[in-house]
Amino acid sequence: MNQASPTLEFHWASALGVSVVLFLLSGILHLLIGILTPLAVDSEFSRRILMISNRADAAFFGVEPLQLLQRTPELAKLRAVLSPVIGGWLISIGLFTIAVTWFGLRNFQPWSLFTLGGCGVILAIFWIITIRQYLQAGVQIHFAELPPLFWIPAATLIPAMILGWIGLK
């Protein structure tokens, strides 16, 4: 008699389930911010920030972002051109994260955890490189100034990885 191997059943209230939720939240955040990025490029709020916050950007660039954009129309044009590109990258990151999480991790595929973790680490490294330029210029960055796109994926990555690892064992 041929006995089938037991199949794993996914549960949201498990370590793997919480890991899936954390990765999905990160993907949804990237997706939403990516959609909003080109739409908000000309908003009053958006013109007050170039990268981190109004205060940090003013300290780094030597002038408030709004004044810099008004003084330098070429910079404003560059920002308008790059905004949809960055939005597209963020949407792609979000869709990738959601797809790998939903179709891989939720289905107990170990490769998906390593893929999500590796991509998260790469993103974190590049955010660190960006922030490091501010720090090297003597600009102190306060946690509350960091946009959610910086800290939410970074804050969820380690717990999501640990819980995913536990859930896949």
The answer to whether position 52 is within a domain reads yes
| H or E stretch covering 168 | helix 148-168
Domain range holding 113? Answer: 15-168
SS3 122: helix
Q: What is the CA radius of gyration of the chain?
A: 20
pLDDT, position 2: 45
Number of other residues whose CB lies within 10 A of the CB of residue 122? 10
The count of domains in the chain is: 1
Record the tokens describing residue 61, joined without a space: 């660039």
For residue range 31-87, what is the model confidence (pLDDT) as tens digits?
999 999 988 888 888 888 899 999 999 999 999 999 999 999 999 999 999 999 999
For residue range 127-167, what is the model confidence (pLDDT) as tens digits?
999 999 999 999 999 988 988 888 888 889 999 999 999 99
For residue range 104-117, what is the model confidence (pLDDT) as tens digits?
999 999 999 999 99
For residue range 87-99, what is the model confidence (pLDDT) as tens digits?
999 999 999 999 9
The answer to whether position 8 is within a domain reads no
The answer to whether position 158 is within a domain reads yes
